[in-house]
Structure 1
Amino acid sequence: MTVEEELRDAFARHEALAPPVGPLRAAIDRLVVRRRRRRRRLTVGATALAVLGLLAVTVPQVVPTPGGRAVTGALTGGTPEAVPGGALNVLLLGVDGTAREPARRAYSVLLVHVPADRSRLYLVSFPRDLEVSIPGHGTDKLNAAFLFGAGVERPDLGRGLELTSRTVTGLTGLRPDAGAVLTYPVLRELTDTLDGVEVCLPGEVRSAHSGRVFRAGCQHLGGAASVDLLRQRVGLPDGGLDRDRNAQLFAAGLIRRAGEQGVLHDPVRLSRLWGTIGSDAAVAGNGTSLLTLLRVVPELDSAEPVGLSLPVGVPMGLDRSLRPDPAATPEFLAALREDRLDRWVAAHPDRVTRLR
């Protein structure tokens, strides 16, 4: 008897001991269907965030602020809200929490300004080490506002966003129309769902966490690498200010990636994508629905954003806190409030972050 015949004989003898395959196959099929549905939901939601990562939608962590309201109108089948005609301001917070570690402080505070003429997006960074007045908590660094609002035990992301929004309002005189909190896991999943984003760095960055070296120039980064880059502050020439600029570069890469996929100028597809988020939708700030904000995207003359930062002085004291530049900041904030950043940029080209 050959080896092949012996194996067949052994299988035949033990076949009766094997459990029936029908129930097992049915269970496997059910599991495959569930996973496919979950992957579709994640893909659609994350693609929407690629567009709305700059319009304050985050999946799955869209969070309401106290006093906010659920999205209504077009999202629920009622009468759509009118698209706002003036300038829009959306506050985005990057926080350092993970699935195993609660969010603590905001590592990135970014205000997305959409001018009334819908010419382009402005990404305005506010340094996390900026010394500000936090309502109810005196003077502290800007990133502490999220911690004070969210709390340490069982952090409430929405309350952290709300207090940070009030703090930014006190600083700028602008009340954000909406806001969102983005955690590292969300950014990682989003980037991987988009098959990575292109980030163009002005200089080399060496990770203090993984040892990875991000070379100067444009490079395609996956989710884990993108989060690694966004965490870097130690060893950079301007510390946290350089991290803010890298966050702008990453956000610009997300916009371009969404544009390459044909999402930015298809309002029907955008509405359908947003509709899949359903009951997770919420608003912050003035109460304008996020779907309504989303509808301004096709109106933009250019999807290429402009990166800006609040003008600040040199770091002060042992904690390296920052204060607004007394000469440049008032003019900058006036331009932001009065929706004339285009003229401010033209007069101060040296203060624009090169995003490519």
Structure 2
Amino acid sequence: MVLATVAGVGVHALTDRYDRSVARQDLLDTSARRDRATVTGPLNYLLIGSDQRPTQSAGDARSDTIIVVHVPATLDRAYLISVPRDLLVDIPASGTHAAGTDKVNAAYQYGGGGEGGAQLLSATLSRLTGVRFDGAALIDFSGFERVIDLVGGVRMCVDTPVRSIHTGTSFAAGCQQMTGARALDYARQRYDLPHGDYDRQRHQQQLLRAIMDRVAPSDLMSNPIKLDQVIRAVGSALTVDTNGTQLEDLVFALRGIHSGALVGVQLPSHPETIDEISYDLRDPDADGLFDALRGGDLDGWVRANSRWVNQL
């Protein structure tokens, strides 16, 4: 989304604005960090959204949203692979928590949230997939409310009518313009939807594309004040780990990715109750997905496994 706002802005100007607004931390565990010096594809990035509430400490929050972003060697598109929050995984030992199996979103909590939580989550996912990451971002989704409002809202298409369990707001079926608060509320819903959390994952992928659709138009590029506000708002909602890559190099390498080049992917899995606790368990197709991530042939896997591809 930062890239989408800079089509008409010099890289040096962007770097200065971005560096002054974004926080930087070591979000990747050493076991999950790819050792490289240049931005050449294929690339894999980890996006983490926390469900921390104002009354919670960081150590009590779990990762509400987990997305692996895969950029093929051509660097012209990106796959958004949503990891189910209830996926049953092996979590390495950390601090006072012994190694064991649990829901994947517990790794963020066991690591103490924030930087430590992101590191344990990245180690967990690297162990699961065999992938080492090229960078990571910790997302404050509530911070994107201001971004959405600054660009005049986003267009979201509601496929199934649903009532928010958080605000009581009703979302009727059909495409509609949404404010930041309304769009984020919709993207958090999973109850009373046909496919539960899988629908929520798809809606979050759609929201990311909808934001990119709005930050790219030329009228934003021609308004330096609004552009500066958007860049700063995006930056304030992120904590990033660029894995030592210079921002200018990253911007130049990924400049060809636009909203229409995003592809949503559902990690092959299914819900199952074990000892009265609801989990998501991996399907056999997940192994092929992980192989494709490691081998850089996600294009081929997607063509052969369309049932796991989301329409954005």
**Band of TM-score, shorter chain:** 0.7 to 0.9
2:14 maps to what in 1? none
User: Does 1:321 pair with 2:279?
Assistant: yes
User: Does 1:91 pair with 2:46?
Assistant: yes
Bigger relative contact order, structure 1 or 2, given CA contacts below 8 A and separation 6+? 2
The separation in 2 between residues aligned to 1:280 and 1:246, in whole angstroms, is 19
2:108 maps to what in 1? 146
Q: 1:127 to 1:67 in 2, by over 3 A?
A: closer
Q: 1:50 to 1:128 in 2, by over 3 A?
A: farther
Task: Please state how far the C-alpha of 1:158 moved relative to its aligned partner.
Answer: 1.4
Task: Please state how far the C-alpha of 1:304 moved relative to its aligned partner.
Answer: 2.9
Q: 1:346 to 1:231 in 2, by over 3 A?
A: same
The residue matched to 1:110 in structure 2 has which SS?
strand
Q: Is the 8 A contact 1:129 1:143 kept in 2?
A: yes
The separation in 2 between residues aligned to 1:176 and 1:192, in whole angstroms, is 32
1:247 maps to what in 2? 204
Q: 1:224 to 1:341 in 2, by over 3 A?
A: same
The separation in 2 between residues aligned to 1:281 and 1:183, in whole angstroms, is 6
Question: 1:113-171 deviations in whole A, cap 9, x for unaligned?
Answer: 1111123111100000000111103111011011111x2xxxx5111111111111111
Task: Please state how far the C-alpha of 1:312 moved relative to its aligned partner.
Answer: 0.5
Question: 1:56-80 deviations in whole A, cap 9, x for unaligned?
Answer: x999663412689xxxxxxxxxxxx
1:135 maps to what in 2? 92
- For structure 1, the 5+ residue unaligned runs are 1-46, 69-80, 265-269
RMSD of equivalent CA atoms: 3.6
- Larger Cα-atom Rg: 1
Question: 1:47-101 deviations in whole A, cap 9, x for unaligned?
Answer: 738769xxxx999663412689xxxxxxxxxxxx975122111111111124444
The separation in 1 between residues aligned to 2:21 and 2:62, in whole angstroms, is 19
State how 1:217-228 maps to structure 2 within 5 Å: 217-228=174-185
Task: Please state how far the C-alpha of 1:231 moved relative to its aligned partner.
Answer: 2.1
State how 1:197-236 maps to structure 2 within 5 Å: 197-236=154-193
Task: Please state how far the C-alpha of 1:302 moved relative to its aligned partner.
Answer: 6.9
Q: 1:256 to 1:129 in 2, by over 3 A?
A: same
Aligned residue type for 1:62: A
Q: 1:51 to 1:215 in 2, by over 3 A?
A: farther
Question: 1:11-50 deviations in whole A, cap 9, x for unaligned?
Answer: xxxxxxxxxxxxxxxxxxxxxxxxxxxxxxxxxxxx7387
Q: 1:158 aligns with which of 115, 133, 137?
A: 115
The separation in 1 between residues aligned to 2:19 and 2:178, in whole angstroms, is 20
Question: 1:201-233 deviations in whole A, cap 9, x for unaligned?
Answer: 332222112221222332221111122112212
2:301 maps to what in 1? 344
Q: Is the 8 A contact 1:312 1:324 kept in 2?
A: yes
Q: 1:140 to 1:319 in 2, by over 3 A?
A: same
Task: Please state how far the C-alpha of 1:287 moved relative to its aligned partner.
Answer: 3.3
The separation in 1 between residues aligned to 2:289 and 2:282, in whole angstroms, is 10
The residue matched to 1:345 in structure 2 has which SS?
helix
TM-score when scaled to structure 1?
0.69
Q: Is the 8 A contact 1:175 1:286 kept in 2?
A: no
Q: Percent identity?
A: 36
The residue matched to 1:90 in structure 2 has which SS?
strand
Q: Is the 8 A contact 2:138 2:240 kept in 1?
A: no
Aligned residue type for 2:41: G
Task: Please state how far the C-alpha of 1:177 moved relative to its aligned partner.
Answer: 1.2
How many residues in Structure 1 have an aligned counterpart in Structure 2?
Answer: 283
